[in-house]
Structure 1
Amino acid sequence: MLRRFVSAAFDLARSTPVSAVIAAGMGLLLAGCGATPSTCAGGFCPLPAAADSAEAVRQGDLGRGIRDYLLAHPEVLLEAQQALAAKQAADRQAQARALVARNHDALVADPEDPEMGNPRGDVTIVEFFDDECPYCKMMAPTLEALIRTDPGVRVVLKDIAILGPGSEVAARYALAAKRQGKYAAFHAALMADKTPEHQLTEAHLLEIAARLNLDTARLARDIQAPEIMGRAGRNRALAQAIGVTATPGLVIGDSVQTGALTPDALAKAVAAARARKAQAP
């Protein structure tokens, strides 16, 4: 009998949130006195009816067995919480993959998006970033290194300009630089720039443009183009639609990651995306 108690308690704790385990244990303990939580109110439990006494004893023994096992093995509760966290993370990723699939063309097939790497790569990374975001600046060399070492990677860049007016203007200047064939150089300069958050000015952006031999007069015209003016806003809406809540936000194949990744973590995420794609029907 005790072995069954232990097995039942272990299975219950592994597959059920801690609050539910406690509630179940309380229910079983209360059942041992033949009552429900409401009938035990007031500090006492009524005696069970004679006809129900055998079942009540059995339920009471089971409740005590589960309680004793959990007290003797509290690590089971931690295992249950870890299993719950893993299930919730898997559920979130499944939901994110469905959202990525629903927004596939907007994510990877917009001809106006700047991109790096192999245009025909078998794995596409979409980065939602901000030109003033320090974590995006940390991520930039990692992405560049990946492109150099993995010829099968394509990177699509989507500036969402969430850190204020400086970010918004920088996004527009970068897209205007794309019209002169110098987006990559301008983007790299912004990622390497040491200006603190919220202090990026248009004057500084013009200095960068001049250093890169961009036509600043043309830039001034192009940043007013309607498709450039509204692009960061459209990118923000897309990021929200797929559940990206911070920068950098990365869509790697069909999975969504938030935050800067180490080179090793990024390489593993790309490998996993590649494997999922190979297994897809």
Structure 2
Amino acid sequence: MQKAINLGLAAAVAILGAGLAYSIATRPEPGLSQTEVESLLAQTAANQPAAQLPAAPRPEAIDTATIGPLIEDYLLANPRLLERMSVELEAQVRAEESERARIALAAMEEEIYNDPANIVLGNPDGDVTLVEMFDYNCGYCRQVVADVMALVEEDPNLRVILKEFPILSQNSVDAARIAILVARSEVNYQDFHTALFSSRGQVDTQAALAAAESLGLSRVSLALEMGAPDVSEALQRTYTIAQALGISGTPTFIIGDEVIPGALPKADLVRRIENMRECGATICTDSAQGG
């Protein structure tokens, strides 16, 4: 976003300079002489075609040596202009990003919230849904596990959807394949989830199989089934969602019409959840509350 703002400011300065230069280059010539005015009036009174006015002078080439100092002097005399432009541009960029996310989320609603491979924690019929896309080898994902699990325990009306989004390594992909199979079983996926994030070192096939086995599942059966086409298809659907929403990192949260990248503090998640209940959006405004 900062790159876009910097480019926008540069473009604004260029436009300002071009406008000043054009204004100088196209400054009107002196008016018609009294004789020419009288002639035009006489022709109009006689209902005769008016004499053709002289063609407007062509703009002269912009003299950068002249216009450059003018721009510099103007900006130095009005330094707050760039600050106001920066603030306004940032607001516009954020608004455009929010609108793009809203449209993309609406288009992908079924895939996000009703995928059969979704791992649902908390209240399946909760009034607010929090989606987290994660990778088992993501350090930032590890940081937010305790907060997300606390939300599940503390908020009886919250539905949490976990989406396997392995992007960091082949080990992550292999662990995600095992996790998808665990989610289909009768064991408590939350126990498996927290166990893997509590393990040391890289989370790979063996780590995932060991965690599943500790919950009573067959290591051999899981190893044989982890490459099944339907497992691959479940992962591919998550990749498709990420591509549509422009998601490239983990963790990424989705709540309401907002896509939130990064390890968001618990307090921020709670505030957004409360806002969703209050006004149907993650950020409540007067218009949202009134509507």
TM-score interval w.r.t. the shorter chain? 0.7 to 0.9
1:258 aligns with 2:289: no
For the Cα contact (< 8 Å) 2:136–2:203, is it kept in 1?
Answer: no
Distance 1:243 1:187 in 2: 26
Look up the match of 1:24: 16
- Describe how 1:188-267 pairs up with structure 2 within 5 A: 188-195=194-201, 199-267=202-270
For the Cα contact (< 8 Å) 1:175–1:183, is it kept in 2?
Answer: no
**AA paired with 2:203?**
L
**AA paired with 1:183?**
Y
- 67, 72, 75: which is aligned to 2:80? 75
Q: In the TM superposition, what is the alpha-carbon distance from 1:136 to its structure 2 partner?
A: 1.1
For the Cα contact (< 8 Å) 1:180–1:214, is it kept in 2?
Answer: no
Q: In the TM superposition, what is the alpha-carbon distance from 1:224 to its structure 2 partner?
A: 3.7
**AA paired with 2:62?**
C
Q: In the TM superposition, what is the alpha-carbon distance from 1:276 to its structure 2 partner?
A: 4.2
Distance 1:143 1:216 in 2: 28
Stretch deviating more after TM superposition (174-183 or 68-77): 68-77
- 150, 156, 164: which is aligned to 2:155? 150
1:164 aligns with 2:169: yes
Aligned Cα RMSD in Å? 2.9
Q: In the TM superposition, what is the alpha-carbon distance from 1:68 to its structure 2 partner?
A: 5.8
The 3-state SS of whatever aligns with 1:138 is helix
- Among the aligned pairs, what percent are the same residue? 34
Q: Describe the shift of the 1:209–1:41 C-alpha distance in structure 2 as closer, same or farther (beyond 3 A).
A: same
Q: Deviation string for 1:107-153 (max 9, x for gaps)?
A: 11123311111111111111111111111111211211222222222
Q: What is the count of residue pairs matched by the alignment?
A: 245
| Structure 1: segments with no counterpart, 5+ residues | 1-15, 46-63
Look up the match of 1:39: 61
Q: In the TM superposition, what is the alpha-carbon distance from 1:22 to its structure 2 partner?
A: 4.8
Stretch deviating more after TM superposition (224-233 or 88-97): 224-233
The 3-state SS of whatever aligns with 2:280 is helix
**AA paired with 1:189?**
A
Look up the match of 1:186: 192
Q: Describe the shift of the 1:73–1:40 C-alpha distance in structure 2 as closer, same or farther (beyond 3 A).
A: closer
Instruction: Compare CA radii of gyration and give the structure with the larger one.
Output: 2
Stretch deviating more after TM superposition (267-276 or 138-147): 267-276
For the Cα contact (< 8 Å) 2:25–2:61, is it kept in 1?
Answer: no
Look up the match of 1:117: 122
Distance 1:72 1:86 in 2: 25
Stretch deviating more after TM superposition (217-226 or 137-146): 217-226
TM-score normalised per structure 1 = 0.76
Q: Deviation string for 1:212-245 (max 9, x for gaps)?
A: 3322233234324321233212211111112212
Q: In the TM superposition, what is the alpha-carbon distance from 1:155 to its structure 2 partner?
A: 0.9
1:137 aligns with 2:108: no
TM-score normalised per structure 2 = 0.73
Q: In the TM superposition, what is the alpha-carbon distance from 1:160 to its structure 2 partner?
A: 1.6
Q: Describe the shift of the 1:108–1:275 C-alpha distance in structure 2 as closer, same or farther (beyond 3 A).
A: same
**AA paired with 1:158?**
K
Stretch deviating more after TM superposition (69-78 or 81-90): 69-78
Look up the match of 1:5: none
